[in-house]
Amino acid sequence: MGFTLGRCLGAEPSKALPLFPFLLTFLLVGIQGDSNAMDNVATERMAEESHRQDSANLLIFIMLLTLTILTIWLFKHRRFRFLHETGLAMIYGLLVGVILRFGVHVPQSMSDVIPSCAVNASPATLLVNVSGRFYEYTLKGEVSRGKGHQVQDDEMLRKVTFDPEVFFNILLPPIIFHAGYSLKRRHFFRNIGSILAYAFMGTVISCFVIGLIMYGFVSFMKVVGQLGGDFYFTDCLFFGAIVSATDPVTVLAIFNELKVDVDLYALLFGESVLNDAVAIVLSSVLLRLEKQGRQGSGALLPPRGNDPVWQEGAEEWLGENQTLAGSIVAYQPAGDNSHSFEAMALLKSFGIFLGVFSGSFALGVATGVMTALVTKFTKLRDFPLLETALFFLMSWSTFLLAEACGFTGVVAVLFCGITQAHYTFNNLSPDSQDRTKQLFELLNFLAENFIFSYMGLTLFSFQSHVFNPMFIIGAFMAVFLGRAANIYPLSFLLNLGRKNKIRSNFQHVMMFAGLRGAMTFALSIRDTATYARQMMFSTTLLIVFFTVWICGGGTTPMLSFMSIPVGVDSDQDTSSSAVLDGSQRRNTKHESAWPFRIWYNFDHNYLKPLLTHSGPPLTATMPACCGPLARCLTSPQAYENEGQLHDEDSDFILNDASVSSMYADVTVSTDASGSHTINRKHSFNYSAGGGPSDEGLDHELALAEHEVAIRGTRLVLPMDDPVEPPTTVTLPPPPSPPRSDPRRHRL
Q: What residues from 135 to 174 belong to the interface with its own copies (CB under 8 A)?
A: 135-145, 151, 155, 159-160, 162-163, 166, 170, 174
User: Nearest approach, Cβ of 314 to its own copies (angstroms)?
Assistant: 9
Report the distance separating Cα 472 and Cα 16, nearest Å.
Answer: 25
Is residue 693 within 8 A of residue 716, CB to CB? The reply is no
Q: Which of residues 322-361 bind its own copies (CB under 8 A)?
A: 324-327, 330-331
Distance separating the N- and C-terminal Cα atoms of the chain: 18
Task: Tell whether residue 397 is a contact of its own copies (CB under 8 A).
Answer: yes
**CB closer to its own copies, 438 vs 601:** 438
Task: Tell whether residue 504 is a contact of its own copies (CB under 8 A).
Answer: no
Q: Which of residues 672-701 bind its own copies (CB under 8 A)?
A: 697, 701
Q: With CB under 8 A as the contact rule, which of the stretches 189-197, 297-305, 345-353, 471-479 interacts with its own copies?
A: 297-305
Q: Which of residues 412-431 bind its own copies (CB under 8 A)?
A: 431
User: Nearest approach, Cβ of 148 to its own copies (angstroms)?
Assistant: 14
Q: With CB under 8 A as the contact rule, which of the stretches 129-137, 193-201, 270-278, 456-464 interacts with its own copies?
A: 129-137
Q: Would you give the binding string for its own copies spanning residues 589-608, x where CB under 8 A is met?
A: --------------------
Residue by residue, what is the 3-state secondary structure of 244-294?
Answer: CCECCCHHHHHHHHHCCCHHHHHHHHHHHHHHHHHHHHHHHHHHHHHHHHH
Q: Would you give the binding string for its own copies spanning residues 544-583, x where CB under 8 A is met?
A: -------------------------x-xx--xx-------
User: Nearest approach, Cβ of 256 to its own copies (angstroms)?
Assistant: 4
Task: Tell whether residue 43 is a contact of its own copies (CB under 8 A).
Answer: yes
User: Nearest approach, Cβ of 280 to its own copies (angstroms)?
Assistant: 16
Report the distance separating Cα 355 and Cα 193, nearest Å.
Answer: 21
Name the phi and psi angles at 83, rounded to 5.
Answer: -135, 125
Q: With CB under 8 A as the contact rule, which of the stretches 334-342, 372-380, 505-513, 583-591 interacts with its own copies?
A: 372-380
Q: Which of 86, 272, 349, 388 binds its own copies (CB under 8 A)?
A: 388
Report the distance separating Cα 406 and Cα 242, nearest Å.
Answer: 20
Report the distance separating Cα 76 and Cα 86, nearest Å.
Answer: 13
CA angle 726, 731, 734 (to 5 degrees): 100
Report the distance separating Cα 563 and Cα 506, nearest Å.
Answer: 10
Report the distance separating Cα 371 and Cα 362, nearest Å.
Answer: 14
**CB closer to its own copies, 691 vs 738:** 738
How big is the site for its own copies, counted in residues (CB under 8 A)? Answer: 205
Q: Which of residues 709-728 bind its own copies (CB under 8 A)?
A: 709, 711-713, 715-716, 719, 722-723
Task: Tell whether residue 731 is a contact of its own copies (CB under 8 A).
Answer: no
Task: Tell whether residue 7 is a contact of its own copies (CB under 8 A).
Answer: yes
Q: b/e map of 44-78 (b: 16 or more CB within 10 Å)?
A: eeeeeeeeeeeeeeeebbeebbebbbebbeebeee
Q: Would you give the binding string for its own copies spanning residues 614-653, x where CB under 8 A is met?
A: ----------------------------------------
Report the distance separating Cα 672 and Cα 574, nearest Å.
Answer: 17
**CB closer to its own copies, 30 vs 489:** 30
Residue by residue, what is the 3-state secondary structure of 57-79?
Answer: HHHHHHHHHHHHHHHHHHHHHHC
Q: Name 599's Cβ contacts closer than 8 Å, sequence gap at least 6.
A: none
Q: With CB under 8 A as the contact rule, which of the stretches 97-105, 509-517, 660-668, 677-685 interacts with its own copies?
A: 660-668
Q: Which of 47, 104, 346, 593 binds its own copies (CB under 8 A)?
A: 47
Is residue 193 within 8 A of residue 597, CB to CB? The reply is no
Q: Which of residues 183-222 bind its own copies (CB under 8 A)?
A: none
User: Nearest approach, Cβ of 451 to its own copies (angstroms)?
Assistant: 11
Q: b/e map of 258-275 (b: 16 or more CB within 10 Å)?
A: bebbbbbbbbbbbbbbbb
Task: Tell whether residue 730 is a contact of its own copies (CB under 8 A).
Answer: no
> Residue 744 carries which DSSP code?
-
Q: Which of 80, 102, 134, 602 binds its own copies (CB under 8 A)?
A: 134
CA torsion sign for 495, 501, 506, 510 is negative
**CB closer to its own copies, 292 vs 601:** 292
Q: Cβ of 111: how many Cβ atoms within 10 Å?
A: 6
Q: Which of residues 249-268 bind its own copies (CB under 8 A)?
A: 252-253, 256-257, 259
Q: Which of 294, 608, 676, 682 binds its own copies (CB under 8 A)?
A: 294
